[in-house]
Amino acid sequence: MLHMRALCFLFAFLITATSFGQAQPNTLKLVTHNVWYGFTKKPEPRHADWLKWMAAQKPDVVSLQELNEYTPEKLAADARSWGHEHSVLLKEDGFPTGITSRFPIGDVRRIRDGMHHGLLRCRIQGIWFYVIHFHPSNFARRMEEATLLQADVRSLPELNPRIVLAGDFNGFSPADKTQYDADTKLVPFFQMLDQRDNGARNLNSGRIDYGGISSIIRQGYVDLIQQRRSNGAPFVGTFPSSLVSDENHGTDRRLDYIFVSRSLLASIESTEILRDEVTEGLSDHFPVTATFRLGDTTAANIFTSQPELLQEHGAGEGPAWHPELGLLTSGEGNINLRDKTGKSSVYRQNAGSNGLMFDRQGRLIICEPVRRRVTRIEADGSTKVLAETFDGKKFNQPNDLTMDSQNRIYFTDPQYGDRSTMEMLDANGRPIEGVYRIDPSANVTRIITHEVDRPNGIVVTHDDKYLFVADNNNNSPNGARALWRFELQQDGTVDFETQTLIFDWKTTRGPDGMKLDADGRLYVAAGINKPNPPHESADEPTAGIYVFSSEGTLLTVAQIPRDETTNCAFGGDDLRTLFVTSGGSLWKLETVVPGKPAWPHAAAN
């Protein structure tokens, strides 16, 4: 039975998701568009064409900016033309924003103090929408407006709110810096604007300023266009269109965005800047769209708490739960113990350990990268070496381990840092960073040689059907940062033909340790919050626990605000506490579904 706190959390979520008696849709399509002076300039046939175009998009939610001279009645009339019965206008003066929806709109708040155009917030289908129209000509004011946005988000009455920021941010993303650095006309254009208007501060000390968008990124939001942009894809801007080619609006740039909270990231089905011959004539800005999958795959159905910091030191890696002792972690050269009262001590000094796991007899199995071996602590306290060499060569740095239903142990053997001491080489002298299996008979077999770049975390599914391997080469400019899945054969070997890419972290920090819950979901520690040059980028924070379905679909991400997120393990008396190691610190999240480690046994659940 679920804990009462979980029931309360889920009940609140379900009330939100089915508010006003509406059936939960499978998807939700959003379109955001700055419509240029509310069609008061070049009004027709532009307005009529826009209404037809918007109806053809079949949106579920529309975020609008520059609704000049609009009234609530006029917005409602427009909304009905594309099938929306619900609409909200921020104001009727200046440059209003508005939102329309196929579904009821609740929890409306209009914020004008401190905002140049104002900020409109509401909730639709359990998602909080903020219609953005930041200051058009002052970088410092945009940063202030981002701070006001953050203050309102903190007032929301939810543990892990699902948030969409959509609109005209009037700001520059650091992700587009290469494009703007190459644009020799952009800075002179803004110099002209700043000289023409004494109140304008487009440039910061003569340079393009990225502070407004950087503030949004630091708050943990993800830029969908950037997140879905493939490496080497050409830049696509959202302003200005050819409609205003008779005026000088500068060169192509991206001002319109859709940002989402990480709790929504796994729900993104598609996103696009809608730039074509038709939209060229609808406004000076191009619209942006995103489609969200809705359903039973949100953080509310996985976590029942926010990440909570338990301790600052001693938890670098390898968490493993003992039902009587508490939590063991690898850190500062030792195996450390946090007992069930929260008291910390050194459990095994100078262990030189990384991944930790209890086998089905409650014996601790240790990956020892310092001594380059895998060991087991016997019931009498003695140490038994399970694997130290293969074909007469010492292992690299045994990193992490898992166990299948037949008590076979699988461990990864990467090499991080100095590679001069590596003995594992193939016949051509190529270094081997492999995956190995230790059978109950003590026989050791290499099951992966070069199919994975640098194996790290590892998990066998409960039915022994799949082997997941975290591939995290963060020492090379083009190193893999990916999660792979292989079909596992009955004899404990893998079918290389079935190698499947589950998720690619691209140039940020890749996946590390991971664990399964009782329903087969995979919890993967990965990412960083700040760039770690030269080989690990972080244009936006990526550190946290990535949760995948048993089929390999990303469900949600629980962000951990500490670098680097390295591993996790289920524990607590009911195995519904997910302990997370990150940069030496220890965190915890409460989960709906308990974990299912090899030990403690399922009866402990």
User: What structural domains and CATH numbers belong to the chain?
Assistant: 26-298 (3.60.10.10), 302-604 (2.120.10.30)
* Residue 603 per-residue DSSP state: G
Say if residue 533's pLDDT is above 50. yes
Q: Is residue 280's pLDDT more than 50?
A: yes
Q: Which pLDDT band holds residue 293 (cuts at 50, 70, 90)?
A: confident
* Residue range 589-605: mean pLDDT, rounded: 80
Higher confidence at residue 303 or residue 141? Answer: 141
pLDDT of residue 18: 37
What is the pLDDT of the chain when averaged over all its residues? 92
pLDDT recorded at residue 19: 36
Q: In this structure, which long-range contacts are made by residues 332-335, counting pairs with CB atoms below 8 Å and at least 24 apart in sequence?
A: 332/584, 333/370, 335/366
Q: How far is it, in rounded angstroms, from Cα 89 to Cα 98?
A: 4
Check whether 542 has a pLDDT greater than 50: yes
Average confidence (pLDDT) over 228-239: 90
Separation of alpha carbons 253 and 576, rounded Å:
47
Please state, for a pLDDT cut of 90, what percent of the chain lies above it: 81
Is residue 24 predicted with pLDDT exceeding 70? Answer: no
**What is residue 159's three-state secondary structure?**
coil
- Inform me whether the pLDDT recorded for 319 exceeds 60: yes
Mean pLDDT score, 501-528:
93
List, for residues 347-401, the tens digit of each pLDDT value. Answer: 999 999 999 999 999 999 999 999 999 999 999 999 999 999 999 999 999 999 9
pLDDT of res. 15:
36
What is the model's pLDDT at position 295?
A: 63
Q: Of the given ranges (35-39, 234-238, 482-486, 558-562), which has the lowest mean pLDDT?
A: 558-562
Assess whether pLDDT exceeds 90 at residue 60.
yes
The distance of Cα 38 from the centroid of its chain, to the nearest Å, equals: 36
Residues 457 and 472: their CA atoms lie apart, in Å, by: 9
Containing H/E element for 80? Answer: helix 72-81
Quickly state the pLDDT bin for 157 (edges 50, 70, 90). confident
107-121, 234-248, 468-482, 578-592: segment of lowest average pLDDT: 468-482
pLDDT at 297: 47
Q: State the average pLDDT over residues 568-590.
A: 96
Q: Tokens in use for 4?
A: 């009462």
With contact defined as beta carbons under 8 Å apart, do 148 and 116 qualify? no
Q: Provide the pLDDT confidence category of residue 300 given band limits of 50, 70 and 90.
A: low
* pLDDT value, residue 161: 84
Between 514 and 540, the higher pLDDT residue: 514
d(CA 470, CA 510): 8
- Beta carbons of 130 and 149 less than 8 angstroms apart: yes
Question: Above 50 in pLDDT, residue 595?
Answer: yes
pLDDT, tens only, 179-190: 999 999 999 999
Element (H, E) at 442: none
Joined tokens for residue 111: 């914020």
pLDDT band with cut points at 50, 70 and 90 for residue 482: very high
Residue 392: partners with Cβ closer than 8 Å, 6 or more residues away = none
pLDDT at 499: 96
Q: What number is the average pLDDT over the span 310-317?
A: 96
Amino acid at 129: F
Are the C-beta atoms of 504 and 488 separated by less than 8 Å? no
Task: Give the model's pLDDT for residue 16.
Answer: 37
